[in-house]
Homo-oligomer: A and B are copies of this chain.
C-alpha cells in the first residue's frame, strides 16, 4: 500500500499519481429517509447529494473536475421522478462548474444517491483538518443556526415568524457549498486547517482540535440573526442551535494570524464573508469563552433525523 497523501478520516481521499500531484476523490451517499427532510422534493434531494460532496472539496480547496452517480431507485418510482432526479443532479454539478460523466442505476428500497467526486490538486495545497497551530485564528464563512431552525420547522412542525420562515426552510432545502471561498482561500496559503460544518459547528471544531492535537477557544458565537429570532419565538437556546445543528455547509478554518487580512480579502473578493470567531490554543480543550465565562463545547454532532 502506497503512502497515503491525506490522513484517513479527513473529508476527502487522495492518491499521488506523480511527485506532488494528487488525484482527489470523495464518495458520499444520500439516503432519502435520513438525508431528505419532509418538504424536500426530488430535484432538491438530488441537488443536495451533489452539494454535500462539493462542500468537502470546498473545505480542502479542490475544484471538482467530474461527478459520478450511482442511483438506487425504489420500485414505485416514476419516469418523471427519475427525470427530476437527473435534473437536480445536473443542476448541482453545473452550479459548481462540474458535470456528471457516468454512473449506474439499480433497484433499492430507499432512494439512494451515491455521488463520487474527482479532482486534481497539488499535494502541498490541500487544506487538511490536521494543520491547526496554537495562535491561529478560527474563522467561518457564514453564520450558523438557520438549518437547525429550518429542520425543526420541517421535521418537528415548529412555528417561525412569517418574515424568516422561508429563509430558514430554504437553508435546508437549497444548501450552498462554499466552493468559491475554499478555492480562494487555498490560493492565499493563509489556511492551516479546514473542514466543512455538515455535522455541526461543535463537531467541526472538535475534529480540527483532535486531528491537529490543539485546543480551541471561541469568543464570538456566529449565530445567524434569523436563528436568534426563531429561538426566542420557540423558547429555544440559540447557542444550542448554532453549535449542534448540522446539514450546514459552511467552512470552519484556522488561519495564520499574520495572514488574516489576506484571507479575509480573498474571500470578500469572490463575494463571500469570513468571520473571526476565536483562536487555536495549546490547551487540548474546546471552549466557549464569552462574558468572562468558560463553557465546554461538547463533542456532539448532528444526528440525522430518523424515518418520517
- A109 proximal to B (CB < 8 A): yes
- A13 proximal to B (CB < 8 A): yes
Q: Chain B residues with Cβ under 8 A from A103's Cβ?
A: 27
- A116 proximal to B (CB < 8 A): yes
Q: Is the CB of A29 within 8 A of B116?
A: no
Q: Is the CB of A107 within 8 A of B17?
A: no
Q: Is the interface of A mostly helix, strand, loop or mixed?
A: strand
Q: Among B4, B25, B69, which residue has its beta carbon within 8 angstroms of that of A68? A: B25
Q: Is the CB of A66 within 8 A of B112?
A: no
Complex interface: stretch among A30-38, A76-84, A189-197, A212-220: A30-38
Given contacts A102-B12, A106-B35, A107-B304, contact A114 B23 (CB under 8 A): no
Q: Among B29, B65, B304, which residue has its beta carbon within 8 angstroms of that of A70? A: B29
Q: Among B25, B34, B69, B108, which residue has its beta carbon within 8 angstroms of that of A101? A: B25
The CA of A14 and the CA of B114, in the complex, are separated in Å by 18
Contact mask for chain A residues 274-308; partner B; CB cutoff 8 A; 1 contact, 0 none:
00000000000000000000000000000010000
Chain B residue at smallest Cβ distance from A34: B107
- A110 proximal to B (CB < 8 A): yes
Interface members, chain A 16-62 (any B CB < 8 Å): 17, 23, 25-29, 31, 33-35
Interface members, chain A 112-171 (any B CB < 8 Å): 112, 114, 116, 118, 120
Looking at the assembled complex, report how far the CB atom of A23 sits from the nearest CB atom of chain B, in whole angstroms. 6
Q: Is the CB of B108 within 8 A of A112?
A: yes
The CA of A66 and the CA of B6, in the complex, are separated in Å by 13
- A99 proximal to B (CB < 8 A): yes
24 contacts between A and B (CB under 8 A): A12-B102, A13-B101, A13-B102, A14-B101, A15-B118, A25-B66, A25-B101, A26-B102, A27-B102, A27-B104, A28-B70, A29-B72, A29-B104, A29-B106, A29-B108, A29-B112, A29-B114, A31-B106, A31-B108, A31-B112, A68-B116, A72-B112, A107-B304, A112-B114
